[in-house]
A and B are shown apart, each in its own frame.
Chain A
Amino acid sequence: MKINKTYNDNKVKSEMQNYFLENAFISLASFCEDNLDELIYSILKEKKIENYKPLELRRKEIKLSDCFAPEILKFSEYFKSIKFLEYLESVTDLDLKFKSIELNIYSHKDFIILCDKQEKTEGLNVIFDISDDWNKDCGGILTYTTKEEEVFYVEPSFNSLTILYKPKEVMKYLKYINNKSGNKKIIRFEIEFEVN
Chain B
Amino acid sequence: MLSEWINPKYLNKDEIEKIKSDFKVAKPFPNMILTDFFLKDKLSEIKDCLKNIEYYEENHDLYQFLRTINFKHIDDKIITKFAKFVGSVEFVCFIEDLTGLKFSKEVFELHSLNFKNTHYLLCHDDQVQERKVAFIIYLCDEFKSGDGGELELFESENNVPTKITKSILPKFNQFALFEVTDKSFHQVSEVLVDKDRISIGAWFYSEK
Contacts and interface: CB of A to CB of B under 8 A. Distances in A.
Interface of A: 54-55, 109, 111-114, 139, 143, 173, 175-176, 178-180
A113 B118 CA distance: 17
A173 B154 CA distance: 22
Given A54-B187, A113-B122, A176 B64 contact: yes
Interface in B38-64: 61-62, 64
Contacts of A176: 64, 120, 122, 190
B89 interface: no
B124 to A, nearest CB: 8
A55 B160 CA distance: 8
Contact of B161 (A55, A143, A179): A55
Given A55-B123, A111-B122, A143 B185 contact: no
30 contacts: A54-B122, A54-B123, A54-B154, A54-B161, A54-B185, A54-B187, A55-B124, A55-B160, A55-B161, A55-B185, A111-B122, A112-B61, A113-B62, A113-B122, A114-B61, A114-B62, A139-B118, A143-B61, A173-B61, A176-B64, A176-B120, A176-B122, A178-B118, A178-B120, A178-B190, A179-B117, A179-B118, A179-B148, A179-B190, A180-B118
Interface residues of B, number: 17
Interface in B67-120: 117-118, 120
Contacts of B61: 111-114, 143, 173, 175
A148 B148 CA distance: 32
B11 interface: no
B143 to A, nearest CB: 15
Contacts of B26: none
Contacts of B34: none
Given A54-B123, A55-B161, 10 more contacts: A54-B122, A55-B124, A111-B61, A112-B61, A113-B62, A113-B122, A175-B61, A178-B118, A178-B190, A180-B118
Interface centre among A109, A111, A113 (most CB of B within 10 A): A113
Interface in B137-183: 148, 154, 160-161
Contacts of B123: 54-55
A176 B148 CA distance: 15
A153 to B, nearest CB: 13
B185 to A, nearest CB: 7
A180 B61 CA distance: 18
Nearest to B156: A54
Contacts of B192: 179
